[in-house]
Every structure is written in structure tokens, then in C-alpha cells.
Amino acid sequence: MKLKKKFYLNFSSIPELTKKARNKKKNYKNAELNKLIKLSSSKSFVGVEFPYFRFFANSKSINYLKNYLNHNNQSYIIDCEKKFSKTELKKLILISNQIGTKFIRIKCSNILSCERYRYKKKWNAKVQSIVKKINQIKPLLKKYKIKLAIENHQDLDSCDLIDIIKKVGKNYVGINFDVGNSFATCEIPIEFLKKTRKYIINVHLKDYIILPTNKGYSLHKCPIMDGDSQINKVLNLLKKYRLKAPVSIELGAKTPREIKVRSKNFFQNFIKEKNNKFKNADYIMDTANNNFKNIDKLKKLISLNEINMLNKSLKNLNQ
């Protein structure tokens, strides 16, 4: 099957297949990783996205990786393995320069499901700490002309990201827009895209089926375009805005993410646009309740294994 559009394959979509490649020895050659790159090429992806240090121990493996990519006609998007780590980023900036990538995708916390209460200080302090850390490595970013692509990793919302960019400078940082993750911070993907489009430098095309829970709603992994993220509208807007950001197919995590909007403290940790969050939460809850009426059909989609889910995604995108 030939993809009609140019997409990258994010290896987080296929965690079972990547297990062998994530060996503890992290050999220089890593033949198992080469198999994954071949898989990506065989499915007509234009490139791959993964954290360098998930599969290699150090920069000595760069030439092997470049050979794997060139041999299979694949491009590469480099991710930071850990949450914001200056030590790792300094190494990745040098690796990016050698490989020829222009940005590094990063996450700024290990918070999921927008559980901001796990950060013991006020959320504004978290945002300011990110600004401070990026400023500390700006000279290196400037020297090698590398940017950081901060993901909305179910922690930061569009307001936080725009605030960080304005304080640090758009020459140093942009947004990795994860489409499905918008729901975690009570944002609608289309609105998130419209609001942040001039800052987006990478896209994770992720879809979720939303279902109701006692405490709010849960986000369930599903094939791309079979969920509630309005992927077709997202793709049309990317075209309309002429965004040149690469787009990676990223299936969600196996474990559903529960967004506890009925918790009394959930909305207290947002800095801006709380009223809009309330409105969006109601809209998302309505979507979840409507989905529950078709739960038997949706369960079949949610329960697909990763390779069948990936293949279903590609089929949907080609239609």
C-alpha cells in the first residue's frame, strides 16, 4: 500500500515491535533498529521518529544510523528520551548537527492526563522553570541553528506553550502539536491548531476515542481517523495554512488516559482561559456520552493490536 501523503512513523506507535531494538547493550550497529527502519520504508513512510538514546548508547553510532536511513531512503526526526534534560539535550544538539536535523522534539514533564497537581508548586512556576532551562542552552541552540519542539504532552496547554515561546524566542523553540493530546488539557484539536499554527514545527497525528468515566472522560487508542480528533479537518487546515511541519503517525498508549474533569481541583491549575476550558470539557463529555451508545462497535477498534491498528490507520488515510 502506497501512502498518498508524506508521513513519518513514530516508533512509539509500535512498542511491541521495538522491544528487541531497545536492548540494554545498545550495540553500535543495532540490527533490530535497522529492521524497524526497513518496516517504515516498506509501508511508504518518508521517515521515522524516535529518541536517539532509546536505541543507542552514545554518538559513536551516528554513522550506522545515517547508513540505515540512507539505505532505506528514510528521513529522521530526533526525540529527547527523558523529560527536559539539559545534559541529554546538549548531546542531542551535537548529534542533530551531524545528522542534519533542524529541531529536537522534547517533553517538559512526565505528567500525563493533565494531572498538574503532581507538580507541587503553582503551575506558573513550572512554566517559568522551562523558560529558565531553555535560556541556559540558548547559546548552543544558536550556534548550531537547532530549535526545540515542545510537545503538548498532556501537561502544557496552548497558553503555556505560547507564553514559553514569547519569553524564549521563536528562533529557539516551537511547538510539537500532538493532535489527540489536546483533549487532555480540555482543548479541541482544531482550535489548538488555529491558535498555535505559526509556532508549530512538528505534528503528531494521534487519534482517540473518548468515553465517559465516573470522574470525567478517558482517551482510548484507536486507528487514525476512527476517533474524535477530526483528523481530516486537521490535515485540511495544515494544507490551508501551508505549514511545512513534518507529520508523524503516532498511535496512542495502550493504557487509556483518564481526564478527571469532575475533580474539584482539576481546573484550578490552569493559568488562563478557564471559562473556555469549562465549555470545552462539556463538549468533550457530550462526545464521550454519545460514543458510549456505540460502545460495542468502538470496542472492536480499541482492541486492535498495534500492527493491525497501524494498517487500519494507513488504509483510512489513503481513503
* 64-82 per-position pLDDT tens digit: 999 999 999 999 999 999 9
Q: What local confidence, expressed as pLDDT, does residue 266 receive?
A: 95
CA nearest to 74, candidates 312, 246, 205: 246
Q: What local confidence, expressed as pLDDT, does residue 87 receive?
A: 92
- State pLDDT tens for residues 2-22: 676 899 999 999 999 999 998
Q: What local confidence, expressed as pLDDT, does residue 29 receive?
A: 86
Low-confidence ranges of the chain (pLDDT < 50): none
Cβ-based neighbours of 25, under 8 Å, separated by 6 or more: none
Q: Distance (Å, rounded) from C-alpha 206 to C-alpha 227?
A: 9
Name the 3-class secondary structure at 242. Answer: coil
Cβ-based neighbours of 70, under 8 Å, separated by 6 or more: none
Q: What local confidence, expressed as pLDDT, does residue 5 receive?
A: 80
Class (C level, CATH) for 8-318: alpha beta
Q: What local confidence, expressed as pLDDT, does residue 24 receive?
A: 63
Q: Distance (Å, rounded) from C-alpha 183 to C-alpha 91?
A: 33
| Phi, psi at 122, each rounded to 5° | -65, 145
Q: Distance (Å, rounded) from C-alpha 58 to C-alpha 152?
A: 27
Q: What local confidence, expressed as pLDDT, does residue 145 receive?
A: 97
CA nearest to 227, candidates 208, 214, 242: 208
Q: What local confidence, expressed as pLDDT, does residue 199 receive?
A: 98
Question: How many residues does this entry show for the chain?
Answer: 319
Whether the full predicted model's pTM is greater than 0.75, yes or no, is yes
